[in-house]
């Protein structure tokens, strides 16, 4: 069986960057981009070494660049020493201490400003407090916090003292927290009494108490609690301490703990769209380097920019593009506690207007839900400050892209559709705003120094105009170092024998068009095989979503079929109320005909079901593996710990 993937959807529009934009861009024009790619090709290690010297402040300079002796456990800049927090804060103290680092907007709309000096002092005080509580270099610290200045302070303070943090998204259950504490071997927890989201108060500390009572967490000797909601919660002395007591009387300076470049800055458990969460271990030097260069290259960051990434710090996007990248390059960023639909679906647009945001970075799931909730709302706000839009987390359907481009960006702002993963540490494949003519729904081109390709199952490049398996052929500085505590799983998952252990396997299918533009087609595990044609989920879903009158969101999976091998089953969320009975049948027929017209009868769904929503991870991604079980009529036996909305499964099952 061939592993190439067919592309059936034709997307021919192209949006070249305006000339004025190209002129001012950090990477200005195709020639500049190609020159960088060539430099990396000529002298791969020299290229990365130059960037590492230019961008990072080294306490002890590195002399070795890439160590491949124990591949695939690659090491970068290994004998160099630095500190991530020093690189994010201290470097700005002389040049721009009074610049706003964080504009924090709370759920209720209250705005707080924190300057670089203030942030430095908060981090130092908290770092000193952690040290006093016995937390030292190499310890693992679990962070379970609301979106807040303090969440960033907690991460930076860990980095400052050489402790490895593991942030767990505040929506996860006590059981998930306990599993991660045990897996990481954490010795301390930083949390809050609770959080506000969408006008509701949600407790946090009780989940920690519950997790710690489950057993296996005996190593936890300290729980620091930030008071956010003020609701009374039990505190267990001497284990638990209030944040305010931990920092009281602590000096506002704290000598950073210098660590080797390979020292684990953090462990982050992936969201689990495809299986049991894995603890992705990242380095300090290589990781921070990639965070910085992508802020400059992809977001084209300038000294006066206001940057806003809407992710939660519980995801990798919130690590690289909130807690580290923006600070390391000295930008002013917006940090938001709440949700996009509270008090109404205009919240994002109002915040862009109020804070004069220039660079806005969000996820397709948010875009699709905001179109459904109020596609005209952006028109009520002044969004002229915007100059770049970004997308991350899933393929963005061309229809959603068009809305984002026109209605939010005023047909003026390049969209950077950034493909990357928890494992890659930072952006890998994305159009650059001053370089590429944009192709809706496509992440287009690898960054200079990122050697991405699309191959068949024997590892041979498929070439332009074809689809296959996305791989990275050379190590890169911000890559995953291992799966915490499970090096064998790391090797098997990412450097499989199929490619002689040489290529990093991303797990996504992708195609290249005639010009070489890369488009993600969906996860390899989700690829459908209909009458011998291998189809990615993305194009069929995008074809459905392109029916903007009826469809808000769609997910497609395969189901075994006697005739065609596999049949396409589509789960659809409609723009209006969920149809039932005859209305549902008629709409299903209309959508089947629509897909046949858009991409051909090969992709026509055999079965269409309607739901109020789709099963999603807590980071907002569609969990197709659950839909596959439903489509087959099987019981769901997989891990559902990361599922946001379990109730929806019953609705989609009943729909049979």
* Residues of this chain that bind ligand ATP (CB under 6 A): 270-274, 316, 391-395, 417-422, 443, 506-508, 520, 523, 621
* Least distance CB 514 / ligand ATP (angstroms): 20
* Least distance CB 489 / ligand ATP (angstroms): 12
* Least distance CB 454 / ligand ATP (angstroms): 14
Q: Which residues lie below 8 Å from residue 147, measured CB to CB, with a gap of 6+?
A: 195, 312, 313, 335, 336, 337, 338
**End-to-end CA, the chain:** 32
The length of the chain, given as a count of residues:
656
**420 assigned binding-site residue:** yes
Q: Largest Cα–Cα distance of the chain, in whole Å? A: 74
Checking 58-66 for CB contacts under 8 A at 24+ apart, the result is 58/82, 59/83, 59/86, 59/258, 60/258, 62/261, 62/285, 66/475
For ligand ATP, the closer of residues 316 and 573 by Cβ is 316
Strands (E) in 490-638, as ranges, are 504-512, 518-523, 528-530, 533-535, 551-561, 565-574, 607-610
For ligand ATP, the closer of residues 220 and 480 by Cβ is 480
**534 assigned binding-site residue:** yes
**209 assigned binding-site residue:** no
Cα distance between residue 412 and residue 406, in whole Å: 8
**182 assigned binding-site residue:** no
* Least distance CB 276 / ligand ATP (angstroms): 8
For ligand ATP, the closer of residues 421 and 548 by Cβ is 421
**531 assigned binding-site residue:** yes
For ligand ATP, the closer of residues 17 and 279 by Cβ is 279
Spell out the SS3 assignment of 346-410: CHHHHHHHHHCCCEEEECHHHHHHHHHHHCCHHHHCCCCCCCEEEEECCCCCHHHHHHHHHHHCC
Cα distance between residue 130 and residue 161, in whole Å: 8
* Least distance CB 29 / ligand ATP (angstroms): 23
* Least distance CB 485 / ligand ATP (angstroms): 16
**501 assigned binding-site residue:** no
**308 assigned binding-site residue:** no
**315 assigned binding-site residue:** no
* Least distance CB 329 / ligand ATP (angstroms): 21
For ligand ATP, the closer of residues 604 and 621 by Cβ is 621
**551 assigned binding-site residue:** yes
**523 assigned binding-site residue:** yes
Cα distance between residue 66 and residue 74, in whole Å: 7
* Least distance CB 280 / ligand ATP (angstroms): 8
**395 assigned binding-site residue:** yes
Tell me the CA distances in angstroms from 622 to 429, 556, 642, one per residue in order.
21, 10, 11
* Least distance CB 320 / ligand ATP (angstroms): 11
* Least distance CB 94 / ligand ATP (angstroms): 36
* Least distance CB 143 / ligand ATP (angstroms): 18
Q: How many other CB atoms are there within 10 angstroms of residue 60's CB atom? A: 12
**278 assigned binding-site residue:** no
* Least distance CB 524 / ligand ATP (angstroms): 9
**422 assigned binding-site residue:** yes
For ligand ATP, the closer of residues 104 and 401 by Cβ is 401
Cα distance between residue 638 and residue 73, in whole Å: 30
**332 assigned binding-site residue:** no
Going across the sheet that includes 565-574, the strands are 551-561, 565-574, 607-610
* Least distance CB 416 / ligand ATP (angstroms): 9
For ligand ATP, the closer of residues 78 and 394 by Cβ is 394
Q: How many other CB atoms are there within 10 angstroms of residue 50's CB atom? A: 12
Angle between helices 29-42 and 44-55 (to 10 degrees): 110
Spell out the SS3 assignment of 542-575: HHHHCCCCCEEEEEEEEEEECCCEEEEEEEEEEC
Cα distance between residue 129 and residue 116, in whole Å: 20
For ligand ATP, the closer of residues 337 and 417 by Cβ is 417
For ligand ATP, the closer of residues 327 and 429 by Cβ is 429
As to burial, measured by CB atoms within 10 angstroms (0-12 exposed, 13-18 middle, 19+ buried), residue 209 is middle
Pairing assessment for the beta strands 188-192 and 140-144 based on DSSP bridges: parallel
**394 assigned binding-site residue:** yes
For ligand ATP, the closer of residues 103 and 470 by Cβ is 470
**418 assigned binding-site residue:** yes
For ligand ATP, the closer of residues 90 and 541 by Cβ is 541
Q: How many other CB atoms are there within 10 angstroms of residue 43's CB atom? A: 12
Phi, psi (rounded to 5 degrees) for 86: -60, -40
For ligand ATP, the closer of residues 421 and 629 by Cβ is 421
Cα distance between residue 372 and residue 6, in whole Å: 30
Instruction: Give one word for 251, left, alpha or beta, with left for phi > 0 and alpha for psi -120 to 50.
Output: beta
164, 139 in Cβ contact below 8 A?
Answer: yes
**198 assigned binding-site residue:** yes
As to burial, measured by CB atoms within 10 angstroms (0-12 exposed, 13-18 middle, 19+ buried), residue 95 is exposed
For ligand ATP, the closer of residues 333 and 642 by Cβ is 642
599, 536 in Cβ contact below 8 A?
Answer: no
Known binding residues: 197-200, 317, 393-395, 417-422, 508, 523, 531, 534, 545, 551
Known binding residues for ATP: 393-395, 417-422, 508, 523, 534
Known binding residues for CoA: 197-200, 317, 531
């Amino acid at each position: 069986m061939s592993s190439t993937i067919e592309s059936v959807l034709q997307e021919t529009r192209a949006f070249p960057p305006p000339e004025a934009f190209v002129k001012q861009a950090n990477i200005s024009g195709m020639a500049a981009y190609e020159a960088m790619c060539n430099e990396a090709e000529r002298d791969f290690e020299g290229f990365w070494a130059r960037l590492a010297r230019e961008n990072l402040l080294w306490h002890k300079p590195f002399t070795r660049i890439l160590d491949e002796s124990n591949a695939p456990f690659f090491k970068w800049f290994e004998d160099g020493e630095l500190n991530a927090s020093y690189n994010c804060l201290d470097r700005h103290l002389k040049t721009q201490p009074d610049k706003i680092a964080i504009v924090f907007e709370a759920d209720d709309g209250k705005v707080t400003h924190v300057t670089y000096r203030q942030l430095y002092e908060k981090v130092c005080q908290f770092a000193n407090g952690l040290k006093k509580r016995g937390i030292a270099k190499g310890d693992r610290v679990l962070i379970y916090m609301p979106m807040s200045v303090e969440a960033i302070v907690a991460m930076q303070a860990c980095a400052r003292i050489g402790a490895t943090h593991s942030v767990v998204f505040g929506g996860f259950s006590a059981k998930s927290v306990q599993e991660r504490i045990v897996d990481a071997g954490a010795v301390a927890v930083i949390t809050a009494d609770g959080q506000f989201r969408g006008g509701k108060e949600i407790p946090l500390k009780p989940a920690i108490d519950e997790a710690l009572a489950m057993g296996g967490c005996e190593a936890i000797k300290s729980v620091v609690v930030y008071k956010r909601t003020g609701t009374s919660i039990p505190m267990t002395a001497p284990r638990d301490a209030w944040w305010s007591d931990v920092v009281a009387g602590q000096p506002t300076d704290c000598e950073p703990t210098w660590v080797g470049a390979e020292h684990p800055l953090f462990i982050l458990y992936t969201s689990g769209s495809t299986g049991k969460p894995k603890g992705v271990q990242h380095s300090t030097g290589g990781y921070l380097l990639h965070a910085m260069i992508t802020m400059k290259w992809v977001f084209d960051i300038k000294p006066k920019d206001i940057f806003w990434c809407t992710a939660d710090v519980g995801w990798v996007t919130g690590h690289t593009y909130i807690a580290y990248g923006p600070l390391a390059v000295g930008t002013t960023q917006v940090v938001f506690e709440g949700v996009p639909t509270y008090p109404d679906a205009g919240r994002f647009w109002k915040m862009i207007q109020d804070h004069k945001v220039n660079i806005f970075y969000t996820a397709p799931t948010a875009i699709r839900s905001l179109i459904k909730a109020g596609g005209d709302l952006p028109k009520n706000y002044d969004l002229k400050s915007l100059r770049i839009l970004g997308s991350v987390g899933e393929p963005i359907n061309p229809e959603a892209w068009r809305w984002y481009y026109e209605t939010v960006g005023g047909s003026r702002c390049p969209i950077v559709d950034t493909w990357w993963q928890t494992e890659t540490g930072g952006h890998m494949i994305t159009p650059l705003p001053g370089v590429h003519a944009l192709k809706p729904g496509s992440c287009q081109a690898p960054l200079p120094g990122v050697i991405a390709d699309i191959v068949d199952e024997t590892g041979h490049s498929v070439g332009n105009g074809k689809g296959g398996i996305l791989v990275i052929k050379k190590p890169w500085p911000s890559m995953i170092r291992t799966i915490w505590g499970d090096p064998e799983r790391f090797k098997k998952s990412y450097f499989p024998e199929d490619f002689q252990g040489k290529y990093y396997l991303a797990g996504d299918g992708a195609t290249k068009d005639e010009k070489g533009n890369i488009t993600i087609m969906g996860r390899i595990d989700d690829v459908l095989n209909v009458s011998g044609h291998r189809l990615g989920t993305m194009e069929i879903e995008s074809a459905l979503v392109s029916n903007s009158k009826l469809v808000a969101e769609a997910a497609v999976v395969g189901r075994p079929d006697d005739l065609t091998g596999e049949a396409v089953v589509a789960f659809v969320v409609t723009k209006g109320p969920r149809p039932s009975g005859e209305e549902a049948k008629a709409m299903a027929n209309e959508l089947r005909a629509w897909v046949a017209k858009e991409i051909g009868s090969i992709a026509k769904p055999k079965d269409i079901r309607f739901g109020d929503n789709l099963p999603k991870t807590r980071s907002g991604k569609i969990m197709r593996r659950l839909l596959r079980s439903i489509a087959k009529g099987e019981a769901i036996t997989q891990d559902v710990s990361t599922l946001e909305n379990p109730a929806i499964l019953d609705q989609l099952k009943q729909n049979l």
